[in-house]
Chain A
Amino acid sequence: MNYRMLARLNGEILIMEAIFMIPAMMISAWESNWNAAASFGYSILIILVVSGILLLLSKGARRRGFYAREGMVSVGLIWIVMSALGCLPFVISGEIPHYIDAFFETVSGFTTTGASIVPNVEALSKGILYWRSFTHWVGGMGVLVFLLAIVPTSGNDRGFTLHLLRAESPGPSVGKIVPRMKQTAMILYILYLVLTVLDIFFLVIGGMPLFDSVCHAFGTAGTGGFGVKADSIAGYSPYLQNVTTVFMILFGVNFSCYYLLIMKHFKEVLLDEELRLYLGVIFGSVILITLNLRGFYKTLEETVRHVFFQVASIITTTGYATTDFDLWPSFSKAILLGLMVIGACAGSTGGGLKCARFLLLVKGLRRNIRQVLHPQKVQVVRVNHRMVDEQILANTNAYLSAYVIIIILSTLVVSLDGFSFETNFSAVLCTFNNIGPGLAQVGPTCNFSAYGIVSKLVLSLGMLAGRLEIFPILAIFSRSTWKKL
């Protein structure tokens, strides 16, 4: 294990985190909330001290000896450390007094979950709200990817960066879109930034205040779901709701599709099976739920608007709400639960199992069923007319197993707190898949504050595991990671 390199990466990320806090501090100072501003100041100081110690410890760190194992562990550790220190402003300012609550909130932010323990969001000060939403934005595309985009590349990086990208980016087979890692990371962040700015622009012309627009755009871009109002998006005009719907769907698309569009490879994007599945599932769900909701809302327009919004919000794992979908009939709620599991496209900012994996699982299953009927037939799984490597199929199956086991175990632990099964199961699903609101007592109008400390920790770990695709978090707790040979 390359401990020094781990320490250095952690130190560098913390410096970035401190820099990210400066705008929040300035917002607090601008609205003369000196308590909040000071809490950011102290947090920045603490973070810088910790990062200084880490950087001192990392003297003489070498990139040699940095393999897949180190990539996994450093990503997992960095996310935990970043959340553990990122929650300091909430605690110091006293706006979220308990550390565990603040940790839960911050993890929920960085992992773009949007599950909150704050009873009344509108009581929080603006700087704190901004920081809460900003964690979504930076967590959506990944902090290490951001680091890769801005640090100068050394000539010989020996694959160091690929391990980091693979560990942090979602999807069954992560690759680069251009030969250079730095450029890949920059392209991703530039696309991300442009889309976010567009979102802000469309919200502002729709009459949303600038501060609300920025926070909501961060939440939409990272597919997070923290808002600034207690009723999420419900209080805004239909236009603003529709803009948010469209952008949620856009941020759930694999970002390399946008790159291909810019490179004028329209046909590839149009024929991309994952994208077709993603859009197909969205439209299919909208039609089914709309039919199921006949007579629930006054007009068809209202029904379709709410259904579209909720479907987009759940499948992209954003978690905004315009209406209390906990009141919908069971069939609609069941569809939403299914969407929670499927999730957005690989290579997007969304969570869940990912459409790409779902596609592989379905195709692999179909192949295996056929295999039973025609044992001698030679069959391969194809996606986008290309053969999928057996190793990737095996990995996807392993991922599904890990996914199911974690959900079962977390549900067991969380059930100790004595809520209904629907509450517990949906709480686990919607944190592990990074969505946010679940059903019943964790539904869109409620929050997670009622859960006990153990449950909050388990759910926090679940969020991290879900965002980082399980293995980096499992790697930290695996004994073979820390063994010397």
Chain B
Amino acid sequence: MKILIAGNGKVGSMVTRQLSNENCDLTLIDRNKQVLESCMEHYDVMGIQGNCASMDTLLDAGVKDADLLIAMTGQDEINLLCCLTAHFMNPKLHTIVRIRNPEYVNQIYSMRSDFAISMAVNPDRQAATEIYKLLRYPGFLKRDTFVRGNAEIVELRIKEHSQMAGLPLTKLNSLFKTQVLVCAVLRDGEAFIPAGHFMLEAGDRVFVTGASENLSKLLRNTGIIARRARRVLIAGASRISYYLAQNLLSGGVSVQILEKDPDRCRDMCVLLPDASIVKGDASDQQILNEEGIRNCDAFVTMTGEDETNIVMSIYGTHIGVPQVITKLGRAENVHMLDDLPIGSIVSPKELCSNTIVRYVRAMQNQEGAAVTIHMIADGQVEAIEFIVDESTLHCGEPLKEVPIKKDVLLASISRDGKTEIAGGDSRFYPGDSLVVVSAGRGAIRQLNDIFERQYS
């Protein structure tokens, strides 16, 4: 599949990194030669220097026989123009456009066909939604939903002195009286898929799947908190802050935003009449204390600087805020931050590029294709949803007799809106939705890829 990526900033290069592992021909377009050079040195891609909204550049990049255009420049207007131009030159082209300006978001949705957009992505809004979900269901570091919300994979960190530390996985369900499955563990920056005798250790990040009520049971019985946030303090008035505050306010949560730039304070005040906006440097602990950081239920650090966010989050955790969420703009080395007490990490560019990879995979194989793909454990593990059909092998066989590849785990089976954790006696039938977790190097593109080939 031929893909053009216009604009190679933070999100663009993340998308490039992820798609270069797929079976795609990538051509990058950027005005900046240095950016292109560094990408070409790191990935097997071609670079075209120029303005991505001009016909000449697009022609050079081979728009005529491309299948997908991903417009990711920093400017919405250029992205839209690029998309219109490319679509004019090749009407069969799919387009993904990044739109960040909140003023455009609604009109883009209604004008989608006029602008020839197949999908519009808004990293800020996505990040806000992600943070909102985390605030709604506290206790998890991250959650990914599958099968229209019927199955989920959540991320937990095992704290020191937790009951879960030192526990073999086989005893997990009986001890906490629940029905969940640990499908991946991230320890010291390395992700793997554990077997039954695996022992959990403090400091591990574990990825657990199960039905929603069983997951909340796990939280309750392990003593991880469950109180929903009522008062949220947000540091930094970015676009994400705006979307998040909007969501929170409509859910009846009180929101306080700290921002040092007076103009942005005023803008925010105009946009969000119900939030309380405070002018002040959020990295100043005095101001945080004055604004009552000790009384709030959640502290979200969202300034433009990752370093500031990390320091503030450490302070928040230190003084005992129940839930801390950190936004990181450059989340390349997240596992380096594992030992720091900075709560959940949200990376807008990673969320955005995951969405795009999902779209690309859906385009790539229509048949037996993955319905959704989520990257978990710092992008080292893929959680993929498939629908079983007639061509699937091993239908109706008990799982303990099905040869499944190493480093691949069948996590759950959903049928008629009910989700069951896959056990040795489970079986799947055509029509079921499966969630498969893979830490292997070979890509899983179709459901049958998870089975060991049998030579008989």
Contact = CB atoms under 8 A, between A and B. Distances in A.
A362 to B, nearest CB: 24
Interface stretch (A134-142, A177-185, A463-471): A177-185
18 contacts: A68-B41, A155-B20, A156-B20, A156-B43, A158-B43, A159-B40, A159-B42, A159-B44, A162-B40, A175-B46, A175-B47, A176-B46, A179-B2, A179-B25, A179-B27, A179-B44, A180-B25, A181-B44
A153 B20 CA distance: 12
A156 B20 CA distance: 7
A126 to B, nearest CB: 42
A313 interface: no
B44 A180 contact: yes
A183 B33 CA distance: 24
Interface string B5-45: 00000000000000011100111000001000000111111
Contact of B33 (A68, A159, A389): A389
A178 B25 contact: yes
Contacts of A161: 44
A164 to B, nearest CB: 12
B56 to A, nearest CB: 10
Contact of A162 (B22, B27, B41, B443): B41
A159 B41 contact: yes
Contacts of B26: 179
| Dominant secondary structure of chain B at its interface with chain A | mixed
Interface in A122-181: 153, 155-159, 161-163, 175-176, 178-181
Nearest to B46: A179
Interface in B282-308: none
Nearest to A71: B41
A136 to B, nearest CB: 30
Given A178-B25, A179-B25, A179-B27, A157 B44 contact: yes
A470 B13 CA distance: 33
Interface of B: 2, 20-22, 25-27, 33, 40-47, 441, 443
| Dominant secondary structure of chain A at its interface with chain B | loop
Contacts of B47: 175
Contacts of A181: 44
B46 A178 contact: yes
Contacts of B21: 155-156
Nearest to A163: B41
Nearest to B2: A179
A179 B1 CA distance: 11
Contact of B45 (A67, A153, A179, A389): A179
A463 to B, nearest CB: 29
Contacts of A156: 20-21, 43
Nearest to B3: A179
A334 to B, nearest CB: 40
Interface in A262-290: none
Nearest to B442: A155
Contact of A153 (B40, B44, B46, B441): B44
A203 B47 CA distance: 41
A104 B46 CA distance: 38
B45 to A, nearest CB: 6
B33 A158 contact: no
B42 A158 contact: yes
A162 B45 CA distance: 9
A155 B17 CA distance: 11
Nearest to A176: B46
A179 B42 CA distance: 13
Given A159-B40, A179-B46, A183-B25, 6 more contacts: A155-B22, A161-B44, A175-B46, A179-B2, A179-B44, A180-B25
Contact of B443 (A67, A155, A176, A389): A155
Interface in A348-395: 389
A389 B47 CA distance: 15
A176 B28 CA distance: 13
A67 B27 CA distance: 21
Contacts of A175: 46-47
